[in-house]
Structure 1
Amino acid sequence: MRIGVVAGEASGDMLGEALMHAVRQHYPEATFEGIAGPRMQALGARSLFPMEALSVRGYWEVLRALPRLLWIRWQLRRHFLSHPPDLFVGIDAPDFNLGLEKALKEGRIPTLQMVAPTVWAWRAERLPGIRAAVSGILSIFPFEAPIFEQAGIPLTYIGHPLVHRLPPPDRAQARAALDPTWSGDWIALLPGSRMSELEYHGRLFLETALRLQRDFPQRRFAVPLINAGTRDYFQRLLREPAYASLPVTVFEEDATRILAGAEVALVASGTATLEAALLECPQILTYRLSGLTAWLVRRKGVKGWVGLPNIILGRAVVPEILQEQATPDRLAEELGNLLRDAERRAEMRQSFQEVRRRLQADTMGALVRGVERALTHAP
């Protein structure tokens, strides 16, 4: 079996890793090619373009990268139509993948979208286009099924692979593993995985750390950056005189060990907020976009929460400090309040245990069922 894939960022790479493991349990000869990150490539996936080329968020940011993105999508379309895979799976990145999936489905290639586009939050007008593009959806959230099934789009709920990949940690052991020579506490800083996110959040997070250091001098800061480009960018910021004295350690890895060992975390909105919840790390969520993107989002009338833990639970558990409100003073104040309040941190951890319970599922089995369903009902 030959499967085409496109993963657009680190979280998609983790989901793709789970997909590859599940499929190969039943189809050990299965091969994967398209766009893959380091986790999928470690399992043998062939990446035709670097995953980082798709790691763009925000209207203005996408506009700047649009010629490159369209060229990559055209190349992938040509490749897969001339060498048809048995199945194509787009992993998240719906703005990129849906157009590609539509072209492939019209070419009689079965298509799956892993991670449903967020029509439940906004952009419900996308449903007809999604129906035209995909043979089915692999959904990671339980509340999505009625929306898509009512629109005539086959959906398989797979749970979230991170639930199985990230068991509740031994925090003391994880903290010690970060640096055996340091017995104090860590504050995790997760500014994002995309370069555009680092450009908006890098200095913001470091300025926040400067303010926290004044009130909590016995804490150190841990920053996980697995991508070489974002890591180099952040380390250049750290060399600036204003930040040279900050006790910051940059880890060349994903966020798992850091969130498992940290006392609290400042997290850029995205899958990392769910990772922090599953690892029971109390957190403050923040995000900044370009002024144009923020204006367009508001014009769409987007309401409700943006953080996955809050969306899953249907209540505000994690504070969300967004856009103009996201200043170093405000973020430092929120984190400081959380650091001073052990009872609040314990309540947050209890809520995060509920997040885990809600996302439990037989993910490996469901992934295979979703794949076989798409193959059986091929266009």
Structure 2
Amino acid sequence: MNSNHPIDNRSITIALCAGEASGDLLGAHLMDALKQRCPNARFVGIGGPRMMAKGFESLYDQEKLAVRGFVEVVKRLPEILKIRRGLVKSLKKIRPDVFVGIDAPDFNLGVAEKLKKAGIPTLHYVSPSVWAWRRERVDTIVHQVNRVLCLFPMEPPLYQDAGGKADFVGHPLAQTMPIDADREAARKQMKIEQWETVFCLMPGSRVSEIDYMAPLFFHTAKLLLQRYPSARFLLPVATVATRQRLVEILNQGEFRALPIQLMSAHADLACTAADVVLVTSGTATLEVALCKRPMVISYRISPLTYAYVKRKVKVPHVGLPNILLNKGAVPELLQHDARPEKLAAAVAEWYESPRDVAALQQDFHQLHLILKKDTSALAAEAVLAESGVAAAA
């Protein structure tokens, strides 16, 4: 297939469902690649601001699905189930040519299963972390969807061994971000002097994460400020809802004087400009690695959720850079270890160890090369193949 030219001019309908900010970014890139092949495509389902800016018809507010942790989900379960029922009903009526669930597996795989039974081809874009925990899900997933699109090279064999279809499409961040991150240029763009001490705080892309992580990160910032009085802090913000919550927390008396600059998106710019990044475990850790910056990974969830997850996890690390490099390249301070004193000490250790930072950047460079593929194009080809458009072209 020649991916540079449209392959079909009919009005194909592609349903997408992205449950959170990272899925919204994947969805937006996928839409671009699909539009190159099918300029008249209609996109409908659930998506965020990036997807909607490209003409996506979102039937529900994406933010309502952005909930993490078992305890937190239980509180919102009636509303989430109502949205899922409504989405399935609407899509059965619309009869899209194909459905793509983007991340959010607990929500999307249930939708995909019902649509597949109704004769609509389904894909899941971003394999759940089956290599890390609950590996038994693989057998279920291959029956729920026609194909899984995987961002990491160790994932497809797990589905293929279970009789399913899966493709390694690379990671879109590795494709869109430069191999050589230019810290000097990033600072110039942000009007930050090269000598300034700059830390980046990334407490999460969901409001529920912000509630757990932002106060912890702000207490850490206060300790770092004692150690480096001229330091400044950058905080990229994923959504309007998370910005509102962050502003509420920062307006509390103990945090009001912190020199924190909230930035709309531009996480890559903030990370590249920073000396060290303090980041909540998740997709953002990979973004920091691709910016070639040292980081400290942290995570806190409810004690009940943590107890459940800890029993199920089968890998020695939780941070994506550590998992992909198969070593403890960057510190992980989780749950009981997620304390301001420990986080500040770990950040300071990176800041004061340029030789260690240089070695880490070499590791991250190699990781970038492994993950760099034309992700959106490969994903689009798989989507159209399942829809039947590629075969008909």
CA distance in 2, matches of 1:332, 1:364: 38
Which residue pairs with 2:146 in the alignment? 135
Q: How does 1:310-349 map to 2 (within 5 A)?
A: 310-349=322-361
Spell out, residue by residue over 1:125-144, the C-alpha distance to the aligned partner (whole angstroms, 9 max, x if none).
21222122101011111111
Alignment root-mean-square deviation, CA: 1.6
1:142 alignment partner, SS class:
coil
Shift of residue 107, structure 1, vs aligned partner: 0.2
Partner of residue 66 from structure 2, selected from 52, 55, 59: 55
| Residue 169 (structure 1) shift | 2.5
Shift, 1:304, TM fit: 1.8
Match of 1:85 in 2: 96
Q: 1:241 aligns with which of 241, 253, 268?
A: 253
Alignment partners' CA distance in 2, 1:299 and 1:157 = 28
**Pick aligned residue for 2:126 from 109, 115, 119:** 115
Matched, 1:191 2:203: yes
Does the alignment pair 1:97 with 2:108?
yes
Contact 1:175-1:185 at 8 Å conserved across structures: no
Instruction: Go from structure 1 to structure 2 and tell me whether the alpha carbon gap of 1:10 and 1:107 turns closer, same or farther (over 3 Å shift).
Output: same
Q: Name the CA shift for 1:228/1:182 in 2 (closer, same or farther; >3 Å).
A: farther
Number of residue-to-residue matches in the alignment:
378
Which among 298, 304, 324 is matched to residue 310 of structure 2?
298
Distance 1:51 1:171 in 2: 33
Tell me which residue corresponds to 2:377: 365
What secondary structure, in the 3-state scheme, does the structure 2 residue paired with 1:243 have? coil
Unaligned runs of 5+ in 2: 1-11
TM-fit CA distance, 1:362: 2.8
Structure 1 segment 235-314 matched on structure 2, within 5 A: 235-314=247-326
Q: Counterpart in 1 of 2:18?
A: 7
Judge conservation of contact 1:175–1:186 (CA < 8 Å) in 2. no
Instruction: Tell me the CA shift for residue 202 of structure 1.
Output: 1.2
Matched, 1:26 2:2: no
* TM-score, normalised via structure 1 length: 0.96
Counterpart code for 1:193: S
What is the TM-score with the length of structure 2 in the denominator? 0.93
The question of 1:161 aligning with 2:172 is answered: yes
After TM superposition, give the deviation of residue 302 of structure 1 in Å: 3.7
The farther-off stretch of 325-334 and 344-353 is: 344-353
Rounded to whole Å, the distance in 1 between the matches of 2:102 and 2:282 is 15
Residues 172-183 of structure 1 correspond to what in structure 2 (within 5 A)? 172-179=184-191
Q: Whole-Å Cα distance in 1 between the matches of residues 260 and 76 of structure 2? A: 31
Q: By how many angstroms is 1:113 displaced?
A: 0.2
- Report the CA distance between 1:366 and its aligned residue: 1.4
Q: What's the CA shift for 1:301?
A: 4.6
Q: CA deviation at 1:150?
A: 0.4
CA contact (8 A) 2:175 2:373 kept: no
Check the 8 A contact 2:127/2:150 in 1, yes or no.
yes
Contact kept, 8 Å, 2:48 with 2:62, in 1: the verdict is yes
Cα pair distance change 1:301/1:248, threshold 3 Å: closer
Q: 1:44 aligns with which of 26, 48, 55?
A: 55
Partner residue in 2 for 1:147: 158
Distance of aligned partners of 1:217 and 1:368 in 2 relative to their CA distance in 1, 3 Å threshold: same
Identify which of 233, 238, 253 aligns with 1:226. Answer: 238
Structure-2 separation of matches of 1:182 and 1:251: 19
Q: Give the aligned partner of residue 356 of structure 1.
A: 368
Instruction: Decide whether the 8 Å contact of 2:280 with 2:298 is kept in 1.
Output: yes
Report the Cα offset of residue 182 of structure 1.
8.7
Q: Do the aligned partners of residues 152 and 338 (structure 1) sit closer, same or farther apart at CA in structure 2, a change above 3 Å counting?
A: same
Native 8 Å contact 1:176 1:183 kept in 2: no
Q: 1:165 to 1:362 in 2, by over 3 A?
A: closer
Report the equivalent of 2:78. 67
In structure 2, how many angstroms separate the alpha carbons of the residues matched to 1:172 and 1:116? 36
